[in-house]
Amino acid sequence: MRVAIAEDSALLRAGMARLLADEGIEVVASLSDATGVLEVVRTTRPHVVIMDVRMPPTFTDEGIRAALEIQNLGTGTAVLLLSQYVEPTYAEELVRDAPTGTGYLLKQRVGDFEEFLSALHRVRRGETVLDSDIFKQFIGSPREKRATELLTPRERQVLELMATGLTNSGIVNRLGISERAVEKHVTSILGKLRIPNSGENHRRVLAVLDYLRGLERLKNRTD
Q: What is the pLDDT of residue 178?
A: 94
Whether 98 and 113 share a structural domain = yes
Whether 120 and 173 share a structural domain = no
Whether 46 and 7 share a structural domain = yes
Whether 119 and 96 share a structural domain = yes
- pLDDT tens, position by position, 9-40: 999 999 999 999 999 999 999 999 988 999 99
- Do 17 and 33 touch, CB atoms closer than 8 A? no
Per the structure, how many domains does the chain have? 2
> Which one of 106, 130, 154 terminates a domain?
130
Q: Mean pLDDT in the chain? A: 82
Q: Report the CATH number at residue 15.
A: 3.40.50.2300
Whether 161 and 206 share a structural domain = yes
Structural domain that includes position 169: 135-222
pLDDT at 214 exceeding the cut of 60:
no
Q: What is the pLDDT of residue 144?
A: 46
Q: What is the pLDDT of residue 219?
A: 44
Q: Report the CATH number at residue 210.
A: 1.10.10.10
Whether 190 and 208 share a structural domain = yes
> Which one of 77, 112, 130 terminates a domain?
130
Q: What is the pLDDT of residue 196?
A: 64
Q: Quick one: what percent of the chain has pLDDT higher than 90?
A: 36
Q: Distance of CA 128 to CAs 17, 40, 44, 74, Å?
A: 23, 23, 23, 17
- Do 79 and 46 touch, CB atoms closer than 8 A? no
Q: What is the pLDDT of residue 199?
A: 57
Whether 34 and 125 share a structural domain = yes
> Which one of 94, 110, 130 terminates a domain?
130
- pLDDT tens, position by position, 96-125: 767 788 888 888 888 888 889 989 999 999
Whether 126 and 151 share a structural domain = no
